[in-house]
Every structure is written in structure tokens, then in C-alpha cells.
Amino acid sequence: MNTEILGVLLMYLLTVALAIPLGRYVGKVFEGDKTWLDRLFNPIDRVFFKLSGIDAKKEMNWKQHLVALLTINLVWFLLSMFVLMNMSWLPLNPDANPSMSADLAFNTSVSFVSNTNLQHYSGETGLSYLGQMILMLWQFISAATGIAICAVVFRAMKERTTDKLGNFYNFLVRSATRILFPLSIVVALILVFNGTPMNYEGKAQYVSMQGDTVHVSRGPAAAMVAIKQLGTNGGGYFGPNSAHPLENPNYFTNIVENLSIMLIPIAMVFALGYVLKRKKFAWMIFGVMTLGFLLLLFNAIYFEMQGNPAIAKMGISQPLGSMEGKEVRFGPAASAAWGVSTTVTSNGSVNSMHDSFTPLAGMSALLGMMINSFYGGVGVGFLNFYIFIIIAVFISGLMVGRTPEFLGKKIEAKEMKIASIIALLHPLLILAGTAISSYLYAHDPTAYAGWLNNPGNHGFSEMLYEFTSSSANNGSGFEGLGDNTPFWNIACGVVMLLARFLPIIGPVAIAGILAKKKYIPESAGTLKTDTGTFGIMVFAVIFILAALSFFPALTLGPIAEYFGLK
């Protein structure tokens, strides 16, 4: 078999093989069960709680969880604004990079606090080392926020009739110290020993063999690259992210980094199985997610390895496939696999330029973000999937004429209303945003000429991609878009903000309300949710919601471009 395909296969199998035991471990961390790392982390966590004045045993109800989450996120946002707008005079700025403008700082702060990592700047010239470090902090704790709130929902799904759902700060600290921190150390060490820089010195300089003088940006990259991959953050150290040879030196590190994208999102599913003691239910969810992931993956790899038909017409050979925006050391298959992994999980790091993908491979990336729950972001990916489960339970209940029940709790009008609003929010933000920007551009193409790097359908795809990426809290881009303007900074900032916090509030509210309800034991008439049939039902709900909402926009963008290229 082709060695490129074998490489993708190896990467995926390794990911699943590691995610299953990691899922058990994550489950134990959530439940406070004994693990082999307790000896190291019990004292560390105690220091965290003591210095912050936290009583980790104080139980909270779902509303208290949300207040705690929103408050601490506000603190992070304000601190981030301050640092980014004052980098020029703050320490750790050897390359004398400037501070950010207010709109760019707003966009960047929202972007990193919301775990999106959309970047309207380029790391080499747009940030000081202090700026990079503070963003790295958000990469840790915004990811931990997602994991922590997912733990709250797990707890709510498990408890029979209660409003006590654990302590938010406890989940937050444990997720950061016991899950993200040790994994980041391992990945960062692998990167450092493969050549990724980790230093605090300014640019280096050398004279090339042909006599050109070359400046080389460097800095504390390895530490950041590790957590950007593991926390589904995606915000790279260098402008071109993991396509940069210093950020992703070789095929081995590419496997490690791609694995790190999907590791925790997949592990969360098995953690659910551990917490609920319902392994079959976890495998059902894993099956649905994997089916969706593989469909997108095959499509992307096939079209990227085919190459660009317009270049084939010129009469040259494409032994690897489509190579614009790709690195020879990865090749089209590993680039397409990364492209799909990073979009289904709301990671958003890239190892090739998505703007230059062939049309239908680009559509795979778009669909991954539009659905946003095939594995999904750390923690929040499951919350999105939870909404689809609730809708599927409700529809199945209606189809067989029973009151819909999920894990022994009745789903009623109030929960359904919340689920519907959250399910509709994502298409609304994406399509409304794309419509407004398309209107502006079509109305006055000269005033907005700097926006689009490509004409025609592809230009439309660039705008569609930007809003999809913002709303999915993904952060990758069709980077040709000239996006560092007040319009894009503010519009995407607002979309990221709404798309981060409403889809957290909704599922937590549903889970909290359900947890308080009376428990109805399973009987012969209960709809079974851990079967293949129910899995197909959930898949159908996802497919119909995504296909119906986004198909017209996809037709105008990638699909039209595909037929235009033939």
C-alpha cells in the first residue's frame, strides 16, 4: 500500500490506542478516583487551592458553575487585552515588535480565551515573547475550562436526583494540572529534541550558500506548540503554524502533533463511559463520531492525492498530488488528514494552507467545522454532541409514540427549546455573517478589494470559511482573506464570543435541569440509547441539520468551484 496512506493509518490507530486508556484516566480524574499520578499532583493541587482560597469540596449547582466559569473568563479577557495592547514596552520583547491595535487585541483576546485561536496577526512580527507566553496560558486554561464544564455535564448525567454537581474550580485545576500539563511536557520534549526552538533570544542571522542574508525568527516555541495541539487551541507560534519547519520539523513530529489534536477529544468519549459506567453508550457515540470523521477524511485525502485538474492540464506530472501550500516532508495525504482532524476537533492548527486545498477537500474542512461534534473540541465537542443526542431522543420518542427519556430522565418542552436554540445558533452566526460580508463586498468591491485573495466562488469560500471557523471556535482559516481590518476583527470576535459561551450555557442548563428531575427506572418501554439503531438516528439528525442549513452556501462556494475546474 502507498506509504502516505499507511502513515495516516498508523497515526489514527495510535491515537485511538492511546485515547482508550487516557479516557479511563480522565474519568478517574473527574471522579476523584485514585491514579498513579496522585502522589505528584495531590500536593500541587493543594497549593493551587490554598493560594487561591478555594474550598474544592464545596458543591455547586449548575447556575453557580456557570457564574464561576463566566467570571474567571472575564478576568482572563481583561488581562489579555492589557498585555496585548502594551507589549511594546513590557519585558521579553527582543525583536521590538509593536503593541496591538484595540480591535486586533479584542479579536485575539476573545479568540484565545474562547479556545478558538483565530489569528489575525502573524506570530513572528505581531507578538513579543511575553505576548506569546500569555496566549500560551490561555491555551492551557481555556482548554481546561472546556474539560471542566464537560465534567459537570458528565456528573449531571450520572446523578439520579440532585442539584449538587461538584466544584467548578476543582474540575478546572485538575483538568489543567493532571491532564493537560503532563501530556504537554511529553509532547514539548519530543519537539525540542527534534529541533523546535525553545529560547528567549532574538532573531538569528546567517548568510546563505548563494550569499543572501537571512534573518530567522525563533523563541519559546516548543512549549506553546505542545499545548496548542493538545488543548484543541491551534494558535501557532509562527505565522504558518505547523507547516513551518521549526514548528513541525519532520514526519515523526507530524504524527505526534496530529495525534495530539485528536487524543483528548476522543478520550473524553471514553471518559464518559467510565463516569457513567456505560461503556456501550460510549462506544455508540465513538462509532457515530468515527463514521463522520472517516467520511470527511476519505473525501479530503482522495481529492488532495488526485491533484489539481487545472495543473494537470498544463502537462506536468503530479506524483504526490496537489502541492500548492503543502510541504514535501508531509505530502498531500498527511496534509489532508491533518486538515480534517483539525477541523472536526475545533483545533484549527494547520500543516498546509487550507486556502489552496482542492475545492472538495476544502469542503471537508468546512463540513468538519459546520458539524463541530465529530470528536469536537476538548470538552465542548461532547457538549455539542449532547445537543444532537437530546434532539435525536426527542424525535425518536415522537416517532415511536413514547415520552422521550434519556438516561432515566424525561425530556420536556423546556429542554427541547434550549437544545433547538443552541442547534440553530451555529448556522445563524455563520450564514448571517457570510451574508453581511458578501453583501458589503458585492455592493462595493473597490472599497473592500483588500479582503479577498482569490476571485469568484473561491473568494466566497474564504468569507464562509472565516465565519465558520469563528463560530466553530476552530481558528484555522482560508488565510488569503485580508482579515486584520476592524470589520473582520470585531465581527469574528463577536461571533467567537457568542459561539463559545452560549453552547456551554445551553447544555449545562439542560443537564442541570434533567439532573434535578425524578429518576424513572428503565423498563421494556424505554428507548435504548446505547444501540446501533439509536446511533444511526443521531447520525441522521446531525446530517439533516448540517446538510439542510449549509448546503446552499456550500453550493455557492466549493461545489461550484469544483465543477468550474472540471
Partner 1 sequence: MKQNMLTAIRLTIVCIVFFIGIYSLLILGAAQFAPGKGKGETVTINNRVVGWKLLGQKFTDDKYFQSRPSAVDYNAAGAGGSNKGPSNPDYLKQVQERIDSFLVHNPAVKKADIPSDLVTASGAGLDPDISPEGAKVQVSRIAAVRKIPVEKINALVEKSIEAPLAGLFGTKKVNVLQLNIELDKLK
Question: Of residues 169, 382, 386, 394, which one binds partner 1 by CB under 8 A?
Answer: 169
Q: 299 Cβ partners below 8 Å, 6+ apart?
A: 360, 361, 363, 364
Q: Cα separation of 304 and 550, whole Å?
A: 23
Residues 401-430 close enough to bind partner 1 by CB under 8 A? none
- Shortest spacing between CB 562 and partner 1, in angstroms: 9
Of the pair 98, 532, the CB lying nearest partner 1 is at 98
Q: Binding pattern to partner 1, positions 281-300, x when CB under 8 A?
A: --------------------
Question: Of residues 21, 32, 43, 195, which one binds partner 1 by CB under 8 A?
Answer: 195
| Span near partner 1 by CB under 8 A; candidates 25-33, 212-220, 372-380, 390-398 | 212-220
- Shortest spacing between CB 211 and partner 1, in angstroms: 10
Give the pairing of strands 204-207 and 213-216. antiparallel
List, as one string, the DSSP characters of 104-170. HHHHHHHHHHTT----SS-HHHH--HHHHHHHHHHHHHHHHHHHHHHHHHHHHHH-SS-S----HHH
- Shortest spacing between CB 225 and partner 1, in angstroms: 10
List, as one string, the DSSP characters of 15-45. HHHHHHHHHHHHHHHHHT---TTHHHHHHHH
Q: Is 204 in the site for partner 1 (CB under 8 A)?
A: yes
Q: Binding pattern to partner 1, positions 109-148, x when CB under 8 A?
A: -------------x-xx-------xx-xx--xx-------
Q: Binding pattern to partner 1, positions 172-191, x when CB under 8 A?
A: xx--xx---x--xx--xx--
**SS3 per residue for 273-308:** HHHHCCHHHHHHHHHHHHHHHHHHHHHHHHHHHHCC
Residues 481-500 close enough to bind partner 1 by CB under 8 A? none
Residues 77-116 close enough to bind partner 1 by CB under 8 A? 79
Residues 240-259 close enough to bind partner 1 by CB under 8 A? 240, 243-246, 249-252, 254-255
Q: 188 Cβ partners below 8 Å, 6+ apart?
A: 198, 222, 223, 225, 226, 227
C-alpha cell at 83: 498585555
Number of C-beta neighbours around residue 118 at 10 A: 28
Of the pair 33, 201, the CB lying nearest partner 1 is at 201
**Which H or E run contains 204?**
strand 204-207
Of the pair 289, 365, the CB lying nearest partner 1 is at 365
Q: Binding pattern to partner 1, positions 364-383, x when CB under 8 A?
A: --------------------
Of the pair 187, 514, the CB lying nearest partner 1 is at 187
**Dihedrals phi, psi of 214, to nearest 5 degrees:** -120, 130
Q: Give the type of residue at 271.
A: A
Q: Give the type of residue at 137.
A: L
Residues 220-239 close enough to bind partner 1 by CB under 8 A? 220, 222-223, 226, 238-239
| Span near partner 1 by CB under 8 A; candidates 166-174, 463-471, 496-504, 546-554 | 166-174
Q: Using alpha carbons, list the distances in angstroms from residue 197 to 159, 189, 327, 459.
A: 47, 11, 19, 35
- Shortest spacing between CB 277 and partner 1, in angstroms: 32
- Shortest spacing between CB 278 and partner 1, in angstroms: 33
Give the pairing of strands 409-410 and 405-406. antiparallel
Q: Cα separation of 543 and 523, whole Å?
A: 30
C-alpha cell at 93: 520583547
- Shortest spacing between CB 300 and partner 1, in angstroms: 14
- Shortest spacing between CB 113 and partner 1, in angstroms: 11
- Shortest spacing between CB 354 and partner 1, in angstroms: 9
Of the pair 251, 441, the CB lying nearest partner 1 is at 251
Q: Is 352 in the site for partner 1 (CB under 8 A)?
A: yes
Q: Is 213 in the site for partner 1 (CB under 8 A)?
A: no
Q: Cα separation of 520 and 488, whole Å?
A: 49
- Given a contact cutoff of 8 angstroms between Cβ atoms, the answer to whether 22 and 178 are in contact is no
Q: Cα separation of 341 and 374, whole Å?
A: 9
Of the pair 254, 384, the CB lying nearest partner 1 is at 254
Q: Is 336 in the site for partner 1 (CB under 8 A)?
A: no
Q: Is 466 in the site for partner 1 (CB under 8 A)?
A: no
Length of the chain, please?
Answer: 566
Q: Binding pattern to partner 1, positions 523-552, x when CB under 8 A?
A: ------------------------------
Nearest-Å Rg of the Cα atoms of the chain is 23
Question: Of residues 323, 499, 504, 538, which one binds partner 1 by CB under 8 A?
Answer: 323
- Shortest spacing between CB 485 and partner 1, in angstroms: 16
List, as one string, the DSSP characters of 382-425. HHHHHHHHHHHHHHHHHHHTS--EETTEE--HHHHHHHHHHHHH
